[in-house]
Amino acid sequence: MAPCGEVAGAVASMLFALGFAGVFCAPPSAGFCAEPIVVSQGAFAREARLADGGERGRVDVDVLACREDAGAAEAVCLAAERALRGAAWPIDVDGVRIASVDSGGAGPRGRDGSGRWLWGFTLICTVVRHVG
């Protein structure tokens, strides 16, 4: 598996703990896993410097469900979004605290190169990290 950023890795672990299988940080080959859930992390966007030297900001994590059937891609995507929004936050991982999450809403993302259906959403993570 490709290495995850700390926030994407925490989201992938949370999905696995919530009962989702085939969760990856980079698209696997179809021969390895034909119907994955792929998470990818965007850059940290600082919103505030904290008195203790830490930073509070936002990290967007894209979650993409890939399925042979369009209806299954939609169902898995909506279930993952619902599960993550209802999960037990905050969590701490590798010096970063994911304080809360929200999502931008799920929707179709077309088809991949092998013709599988894609549905996805962006999980908006409020994080606190310590600098230095």
By percentage, how much of the chain surpasses pLDDT 70?
Answer: 97
CA separation for the pair 90, 108 (Å, rounded): 29
Task: For residue range 71-96, list pLDDT tens digits in order.
Answer: 999 999 999 999 999 999 999 988 88
Are 90 and 130 in contact, with CB atoms under 8 Å apart?
no
User: Sorting pLDDT into bands at 50, 70 and 90, what band is 41?
Assistant: very high
Supply 52's token pair: 């203790």
Domain boundaries, the chain: 6-130
Task: For residue range 56-66, list pLDDT tens digits in order.
Answer: 999 999 999 99
CA separation for the pair 11, 93 (Å, rounded): 10
Side-chain half-sphere exposure of 74, counting CA atoms within 13 A: 6
- CATH classification (class only), 6-130: alpha beta
